[in-house]
Amino acid sequence: MTDLWDIIIVGGGPGGLAAAMYGARSKQKTLLIEKGKTGGQAATTWDMENYPGFAKGTTGPGLMQAFTDHATSFGAEIVRGEVVDVTADDKIVTLKDGTKYHGRTLIFAPGAVPRTLGVKGESALRGKGVSYCATCDADFFTDLDIVVLGNGDAAIEEGSYLTKFANSVTVVVIHDEGVLDAAPMLQERAFRNPKMKFVWNSTLQEIRGDGIVEGVVLHNVKTNELTEMETNGVFIYVGTIPQTGFLQGKVNLDERGYIITNEQMETNVDGVFGIGDARVTYLRQVITAAADGAIAAVAAEKYIIEEEGFKESVLAEERPVAVVFWTPMSNRCLEMMPNIESALTVFGDKVKTWKLDTYRNRRVASRYGVTQNPTIVFFHRGQVAARLVDAEITAEAINTTLVALVN
């Protein structure tokens, strides 16, 4: 662990790749760590019709390769490895092989993996007819009959893709007849597809087979009836699980394990960000993950500038420093600033003045409990020595405070 990286990104899906591109383009020394092939789940989705500017003919693997090439073209470095431990406060990540990387900021984009059902036969037959990725395994089922479980966008979109290979695709849906959770366009396309069939009010009770999938047992949730059905394969799409186990106790996660962030993608730890499918968010798509990545990279750059600038200009200063927190959007600040500056200049080089716009430097303002504008926080040798807030700020009060600090 010799190099210090400006931005370290964990996870090479669309969010991580977008963050790498934005970080490297802004001349930040950017490292992306990915345990497998870049692209994440998007690289396993064949048809990619909902990414703006890319219509029919765009594939998930192709789009993710373009993301990767774009990031590396600006100088982002990509290394293969699995992160198993994190020291969030010190911005250190540790790989499975013991390698450690140190950054000024961390962006976590670990993504999510398909949720399993946990039914009998699922684990034993995984990879032997049970799959969670149509793009990966569709060609193994050419001219065969398969089952898809699920009714959201992923299930219906991937089910439609599977009809290009399979003889038939039977979609098992827990809802009443005609009710799907997928986007209307996907529903219409699926209902028109002669190879797609539907079993309603049902779920999977068991997956059967001797070495390979040979059939399933369907459970009707309304009648409790069990029905056996022959099939050569089962594709399961019932949601995802965030890959955040290595972040337990490191940053705040919700009850399901998703990373909690604000709109700047900031976690509860300064300089640490969370993005993409592993973040608490309303929508999980390539476009939203990419947007998260762009926001986080820009926020990381601002963090570095803000933190390093404050440390160098205020905390490392031997002289007393009067940090004036203000905002030009406040008439009160605009009225008071001339008098504040005049009172501070009396001490010449004995005192350093540092003005901070609270709108642009919210993190520092929050750290030092600044809630009103203007506020003057006086530092001496890196420590808060005194403060004056709004009406307390007078030429006399400034003079009294600084005389005590200078002497």
Q: How far is CA 139 from CA 148, 150, 209, 225, in A?
A: 15, 21, 20, 33
Which amino acid does the sequence have at 193?
A: N
Which position among 137, 153, 277, 292 bears the catalytic label? 137
Q: Is 136 a catalytic residue?
A: yes
Which amino acid does the sequence have at 61?
A: P
Reference 111, options 288, 250, 252, 255; nearest CA is 288
Cα–Cα dist 208/80, whole Å? 37
Which amino acid does the sequence have at 248?
A: Q
Across-strand partners of 388? 376
CB distance 378 to 356 below 8 Å: no
Chain CA centroid to CA 365, Å: 25
Q: Which residue has the tokens 């149509």?
A: 134
Residue 399 burial (10 A CB sphere; 0-12, 13-18, 19+): middle
14: cis peptide before it, omega within 30°? no
What is the token pair recorded at 127? Answer: 């990879």
The widest CA-to-CA distance across the chain, in whole angstroms, is 89
- Which helix (DSSP H) or strand (DSSP E) does residue 145 occupy? strand 145-149
Q: Is 133 a catalytic residue?
A: yes
The SS3 call for residue 58 is: coil
Which position among 3, 69, 85, 136 bears the catalytic label? 136
Cα–Cα dist 318/191, whole Å? 73
Query: Which string of DSSP letters, residue by residue, matches 327-345?
Result: -TT-HHHHHHHHHHHHHHH
Q: Which residue has the tokens 């003919």?
A: 57
In sequence order, which residues have a C-beta less than 8 Å from that of residue 344 and are 6 or more positions away?
322, 324, 351, 353, 398, 402
The residues annotated with a catalytic role in the active site are 133, 136-137
